Amino acid sequence: MGKDDFIFKVHRLKKTSVMRRLAKTEGAGVKGAVGVLRVKGKQIELEVDDPEATPPNFAKRIRKFLSLRGHILKVCVVSATGELLEEGGDDDADELAKKNITQHIDPSALVELDADLEKVSKKFKALTGALKKSLKSAPPVHREKLMVAVNYYQQAIALKSPKRAMQAVKVVKKLIACTPSGENTRGQLAKAGSDPVKLSKLKGLATTLSARAATDPAFLDRNYKGMQAMRSAMRNALTQKPSPEVAQLLREIKSGMDMAVASHPKAGED
């Protein structure tokens, strides 16, 4: 577990020590719980090895983590002796919200509402191909953001809220566009052209690329050319003598790319 993310790893055969190590490599912090998971109908029971080391609100966080992925389950955290340590609620909040909202919908507006939902649905379906690619290539934290947006969209459709659904579609589209990959990197560079100001706005993408490349050699290999192209673009933009603020961002991006690609076997050949 970390301040800004939540890693949940489960395996039917691997030892808990292995799963904890895998989770820690993806998490931003050192806190976490290790134990055994049991599924009983619509309830999950987590038996933790060390109750004192278990983070607060653990059951609620796991329930939220699962609900974002479409699994509405009650979560119980217990000790090795079977003592109940914490519960993660058993009410389907999404269903309750749906009931509360639909009570105020004017029946005469349902036809128009369905037509609006259909328009939004078509926009979302047009993104599914790119969404699948992004989910496959994105680092854990970015993938989590995509999943939150997708589930927000699904909930908005269930609640018959075109406005909320459209908001979710826009967020999904934006997240897809900034998913770190060689294809996206070149696409973003093409949009920015040689404009120093537009190039400086790629700082977020560059930071994510650098972080992923530093821990994943295969990712670096796939995206090496795109990252090299970003280095060149920043170097060329700096020759245009942009404002001090923009120049600082360009230098930071270039520096990050320099460090990220340094470990690639072809780095010395460029």
pLDDT digits (tens, 9 = 90+) for 229-252: 999 999 999 999 999 999 999 999
More confident residue, 98 or 201: 201
* Residue 90 pLDDT: 45
Residue carrying the six token digits 């826009």: 170
Query: What whole-number distance in Å separates Cα of residue 114 and Cα of residue 121?
Result: 10
Q: Give the range among 38-42, 224-228, 251-255 with minimum mean pLDDT.
A: 38-42
Residue carrying the six token digits 């599914």: 128
Query: What whole-number distance in Å separates Cα of residue 112 and Cα of residue 117?
Result: 9
High-pLDDT (> 90) share of the chain, %: 11
pTM above 0.85, yes or no: no
pLDDT band at 118 (very low <50, low <70, confident <90, very high): confident
Average pLDDT in the 111-121 region? 74
Q: Give the range among 9-18, 165-174, 181-190 with minimum mean pLDDT.
A: 181-190
Per-residue pLDDT of 3-33, as tens digits, reads 445 677 777 777 877 777 777 766 655 567 7
Computed over every residue of the chain, the mean pLDDT equals 77
* Residue 97 pLDDT: 38
Which DSSP state fits 47? E
* Residue 112 pLDDT: 53
Nearest to 9 by CA among 40, 37, 31, 30: 37
Q: Give the range among 16-20, 65-69, 141-145, 225-229 with minimum mean pLDDT.
A: 65-69
Average pLDDT in the 48-76 region? 76
More confident residue, 178 or 189: 189
Average pLDDT in the 29-57 region? 78
* Residue 2 pLDDT: 41
Tokens of 52: 């004192």
Nearest to 181 by CA among 142, 125, 129, 126: 142
Cβ 251 vs Cβ 237: under 8 Å: no
Instruction: Please list the residues that pair with 78 across neighbouring strands.
Output: 47, 84
More confident residue, 108 or 181: 181
More confident residue, 137 or 89: 137
Angle between the 162-177 and 110-125 helix axes, to the nearest 10 degrees?
10
Angle at 201 between CA 198 and CA 244, to 5 degrees: 80
- Would residue 200 be called left, alpha or beta, if left means φ above 0 and alpha means ψ between -120 and 50 degrees? alpha
Beta strands 84-87; 74-78: pairing state: antiparallel
Instruction: Please list the residues that pair with 37 across neighbouring strands.
Output: 46
More confident residue, 57 or 32: 57
Query: What whole-number distance in Å separates Cα of residue 96 and Cα of residue 72?
Result: 13
Torsion of CA 138, 141, 144, 146, to 10 degrees: -50
